[in-house]
Amino acid sequence: MPLFSKKDFANTKWYILEKICQLIVGIYITPKIFNSLGAFNSGELEISKAIVGVLTPFFFLGLSAICIRELVFKPKLKHSIIGTTLILRFFSFLVVSLCLLTYTYFTNTSEITLIVLILAFSYLFKISDVIEYFFVATKKYKIVFYCKITTLALVLAAQYYGVQNNFSAFYFAALMCFEFAVQTLIYLGVITLSKQLYFKQLKWSSKLAKDLLKSAFPLLVSNFIIVFYLAIDDFFINHYLGNSANGVFSVVDFLVIFITWNIGAAFIYGLYPALAECYLDNKELYLKRLKFMSKILLVYGLCIGLFYTFFADFIVTTYYDDSFKSATRPLKIFAWSPLFIFIGMLFEKHLVNQNKLHRNVYRFVLGCVVNSILCFLLIPKYELIGAAFAVLISHFVTNIVFILLYKSYRTHIKTFLLANH
């Protein structure tokens, strides 16, 4: 039996191709947006994204991985799973939005507050991701690819228009609403025409809702901790160094996370349905697949670190103006974090299959504590270089040290390293 089928690799190919297209577009337009807004206004936009990012788990409820898993395990219940997930996601949007509006009403309104509200409203359209889960579970990511690339082309045109006219951060925040709205309309059209799902057959199941929420709760908590974990640096940098420094560090995040991180994540997500389907019935094949994916991710993470170590100076000086020149050294440091993060991403999928997501919560609590302590100690003295080291060390602890704390996972690692098959 082959390690992965042609269909598995074809599905993954569309995942990665989508990220490569986003990468090419991002390389072209994102530096222009940063340069158009300047470091200070870019910082305002990024801190607003960080604030909304902290709320993102409450919009998603941790249901994405669980919904995909259930669609793989129980394909005959697809209309109940998708219908129930859609309603749960809609009510979560209403609750979070109401909380944000209430908070805004009783506080002083600022530019950042308004940008936060714009970004939060976009999540009404993000509910259509539930349709995407269906295509992921059925290994038909090709459909998602065409939907997202069409949306990407329209958003690129709108972003270029905004750069040419020097529009404010409000405009670029509103484009997120535009992006998700267009994507929703395309998904609805595809589902209607393809007849793979029937909206009239979507239904609510209270029992299923309880099961989904129960399974997803540890993932919701861990996702909340993750986004808080990722936002810690933004908050510390904003507190100690100001908006301009946040704008500079957002360039580092963009170059490492958006351009390279997403491709590694696409590889994992693309092969996850194949990983999940053999977990219950063929543990030997499951471990072989984990080993294969781990090796690919380690090599890719090493390539990222080496690439930015040698080319960070050239990239920053060529594509960004002088207000971002201090991003070079933090970029060389932060670039090694994907080496650890990809292993953590794969480990999380393993926990989803094991239904032991509470361990994911422990993992990111540890990461938050370590990152907060390091940010507190390093950023005031070493500024953005300290922030980069804080992130790098905390990712090593979260994604490597934590795994080694469990004997069973240490055994798996030895198997990966020593096995000849």
Q: Is the dihedral of CA 58, 148, 30, 333 positive or negative?
A: positive
Top-confidence range, 42-56, 260-274, 301-315, 338-352: 301-315
Top-confidence range, 16-25, 26-35, 65-74: 65-74
Q: What are phi and psi for residue 290, nearest 5 degrees?
A: -60, -45
Runs of H (alpha helix) within 61-121? 63-73, 78-105, 111-121
The first and second tokens of residue 403, run together, are: 């795994």
pLDDT 10s digits, 125-151: 787 788 888 887 777 777 878 888 888
The percent of residues in the chain predicted with pLDDT above 70, rounded, is: 88
pLDDT of residue 417 exceeding 60, the answer is no
Q: Is the dihedral of CA 68, 72, 76, 77 positive or negative?
A: negative
b/e 350-379 (16+ beta carbons within 10 angstroms → b): bbbbeeebebbbebbbbbbebbbebbeebb
Q: Answer whether 395's CB lies under 8 Å from 261's CB.
A: no
pLDDT of residue 202 exceeding 90, the answer is no
Distance CA 352, CA 276 (A): 9
- Nearest alpha carbon to residue 232 among 378, 60, 61: 378
Distance CA 200, CA 129 (A): 19
pLDDT 10s digits, 357-372: 778 788 888 888 898 8
Q: Is the pTM of this model over 0.85?
A: no
Name which residue leads in pLDDT, 223 or 315.
Answer: 315
Q: Specify the amino acid at residue 1.
A: M
pLDDT given at position 378: 92
pLDDT given at position 124: 77
pLDDT of residue 49 exceeding 70, the answer is no
Q: Specify the amino acid at residue 417.
A: L
Distance CA 215, CA 220 (A): 9
